Amino acid sequence: VILEIDVQGAKQAKRVYRDMVMIFILAPSQKELAERMKLRGRDGIETAQERLNGASSEIAAAWQYYQHMVINENLEQAVSEVTQIIQQSGGK
């Protein structure tokens, strides 16, 4: 099962599924994250700014719950890294 959850969701999931393998995927930089959000066009300016402001604390908190961090600088490489982590975990 693959879930897309934030750090708060990870915290709750980790309590229930202790052997869960968790992978945090992040942009290579704050600037790149802002650019990607702008290109997606899903958030208004205010919402995007709130998300960017929260990103640093989200990343800092992620180290507590996620066993793996994958920097999504190159999509193919990031997919390969995630696939390898899943395969090595035995599909937990």
Query: What is the pTM (predicted TM-score) of this model?
Result: 0.78
pLDDT band (50, 70, 90) for residue 19: confident
In degrees, to the nearest 5, what angle opens at C-alpha 1 toward C-alphas 26 and 91?
Answer: 90
Contacts of 80 (CB under 8 A, 6+ apart): none
Residue-range domains of the chain with CATH? 7-88 (3.40.50.300)
Q: What is the pLDDT of residues 20-72, one digit of tens each?
A: 899 999 989 888 887 877 787 776 677 767 777 778 888 888 888 899 999 99
